[in-house]
A and B are shown apart, each in its own frame.
Chain A
């Protein structure tokens, strides 16, 4: 239902998101995994037409067959009011503190869909029920500060559902929540996506959360796609060295973890993400990659097909099996 072709975003200091293509089918659940600065939020914002006007966006985008490449702000607003929705990371600050949450959810219904106040209130109540908000009737007239983090995130999801979206983008929806509450929220998102045949784009740095939620994963690093593929395949047999590093860096309860020093330690990817202007011109992961080759830092690898998906790694072409680390 949404197709992005060669979308890229440039900032004053250089490219922030490299040419990226991505399609979501109706009802499909896709995850984007990456560290902060990997461009995952920028990619999501470009799908909402909400990239800051200090940055320049290029490439083609179409939503439900409608070409939005040269769309003006009003066209995007029309889509955001009806077909596209987004839930943000911080449930604490993402709700207007001066408004009753019921009014916040009712506002777009009244404004965009011509509901009366009573109809909007009834619809908000049923959305609260659908998103599993406890004591929904009473919550309608409460203020955000009177709700817990999990309840607030549910209110934001209810707000996102108010327009019956064809696509819901959830940008780190669980990162600010307790582990148990986070699990319930991811389950809720999956259930809503299934019941409503609504596409879900789940963005997170947490591989475990993404793997629970999605059918397909896109791994991003430094404003570029590293690897794509079915969730199960990525989790079991990653092709890209960066994905392998991410998977290895997950805490495991069931195995002792041995570092090179023989101590029990969590493996990490050495180094840290350089600032955008210092990223290598070739593969973005060059400099931190354990299986780097001479031309990696200067030549950008293309996304090529693997057994299960695609990966952008020179090792894929060099030895046909990805980096043997």
Chain B
């Protein structure tokens, strides 16, 4: 068990290292002169050359990578070319919002999908099953940005229950939560639709197994059998998909934050790309990668927590 976790942790760190090299390389072969971005097109060539020298852009690429990586490990991502403030500061202001959105989206996705998937499996082949699967088929087919607009039209414009967009800050937690409801639903619904199908088929697979009949034969109610025996045994495929979906959720925040005018990392990334603010883009891409790799590390640990058979394995 410990050995397994140590191995997975080593793999986790190695993945991050490789990702950092890829992100750095891609960002540095892209065309675009940071000096031009910072000084504008009216600056003299001499001034730009001096700035490039000061930023260390003329140093060998390995040295630049190491300088960036070591600084990043200490939380220093350099100074934004376009905003003129440290990238860490820009990120720090926006991280809580995106993080809250991604976590809330994941929780809503899992809760909705498990409920719908297990309910559908319990009604296998009957009308409830069909209704849930039809609903999930629609959820898969509808693009998130369009769903966002529909949600805004209904709940913000027509019913006026929730704000249409923007974010009031964390000072008023109720207002902050209200601002996050529609973005969370828009973000989670598509993922929940996909995960509900996975849950349903995983649960049906488990329901065919003998231990389910054993549990029934010892007098347990269908509900207890479903949630106590079927669901835990269906979790391995479910958790795998959740790990993959987390990447979609994180990238989904980029679209959703733009639709709902939320000042999060996704919106910052969008602005930075528009501004050719490569150093900020580089930091953000790295940060999103860290989220996804971490999520997958957690999924790997979750496997062994779920299934004792994987604990002593060589896996």
Contact B218 A162 (CB under 8 A): yes
Contact B233 A97 (CB under 8 A): yes
Number of interface residues of A (CB under 8 A): 30
A255 at the interface (CB under 8 A from B): no
Contact B219 A108 (CB under 8 A): yes
CB within 8 Å of A: which B180-237 residues? 209-211, 213-221, 224, 229, 232-233
Q: How far is the CA of A94 from the CA of B214 in the complex (A)?
A: 6
Minimal Cβ-Cβ distance residue in A for B211? A96
Contact A112 B233 (CB under 8 A): no
Which listed residue, B213, B232, B308, touches A50 by the CB 8 Å rule? B213
Contact B211 A48 (CB under 8 A): no
Minimal Cβ-Cβ distance residue in B for A143? B308
A295 at the interface (CB under 8 A from B): no
Contact B309 A93 (CB under 8 A): no
Contact A85 B233 (CB under 8 A): no
CB within 8 Å of B: which A126-159 residues? 143, 145, 156, 159
B307 at the interface (CB under 8 A from A): yes
With contacts A97-B233, A98-B232 taken as known, whether A80 is within 8 angstroms of B309 at the C-beta atoms is no
Contact A98 B233 (CB under 8 A): yes
Number of interface residues of B (CB under 8 A): 20
Contact B213 A108 (CB under 8 A): no
B206 to chain A, nearest CB (A): 10
Contact B210 A93 (CB under 8 A): yes
With contacts A97-B211, A98-B232 taken as known, whether A50 is within 8 angstroms of B309 at the C-beta atoms is no
Contact A50 B218 (CB under 8 A): no
Q: How far is the CA of A156 from the CA of B214 in the complex (A)?
A: 9
Contact B214 A159 (CB under 8 A): yes
CB within 8 Å of A: which B258-306 residues? 306
Contact B233 A96 (CB under 8 A): yes
CB within 8 Å: A-B pair count: 72
Chain B residues with Cβ below 8 Å from A90 are: 210
CB within 8 Å of B: which A74-100 residues? 77-82, 85-86, 88-90, 93-98
Minimal Cβ-Cβ distance residue in A for B222? A73
A265 at the interface (CB under 8 A from B): no
Q: How far is the CA of A48 from the CA of B217 in the complex (A)?
A: 7
Q: How far is the CA of A78 from the CA of B216 in the complex (A)?
A: 11
A9 at the interface (CB under 8 A from B): no
A48 to chain B, nearest CB (A): 6
Which listed residue, B216, B224, B229, B306, touches A96 by the CB 8 Å rule? B229
Chain A residues with Cβ below 8 Å from B219 are: 77-82, 108, 111-112, 163
Q: How far is the CA of A181 from the CA of B40 in the complex (A)?
A: 85
Q: How far is the CA of A160 from the CA of B218 in the complex (A)?
A: 7
**Interface flags, B81-103, vs A, CB<8A=1, else 0:** 00000000000000000000000
B302 to chain A, nearest CB (A): 13
Minimal Cβ-Cβ distance residue in A for B125? A54
With contacts A96-B211, A97-B211 taken as known, whether A111 is within 8 angstroms of B220 at the C-beta atoms is yes
B291 to chain A, nearest CB (A): 29
With contacts A88-B210, A98-B233 taken as known, whether A80 is within 8 angstroms of B308 at the C-beta atoms is no
Which listed residue, B215, B220, B221, B308, touches A97 by the CB 8 Å rule? B308
CB within 8 Å of A: which B37-92 residues? none
B205 to chain A, nearest CB (A): 13
Minimal Cβ-Cβ distance residue in B for A76? B219
Minimal Cβ-Cβ distance residue in A for B214? A94
Those 9 A-B pairs whose CB atoms lie nearest each other, nearest first:
A81-B219, A80-B219, A93-B210, A94-B210, A86-B217, A143-B308, A96-B211, A108-B218, A94-B214
In the complex, besides A143-B309, A160-B217, A160-B218, 8 extra interface pairs with C-beta distance below 8 angstroms are A50-B216, A50-B217, A78-B219, A82-B219, A86-B217, A90-B210, A107-B220, A156-B214
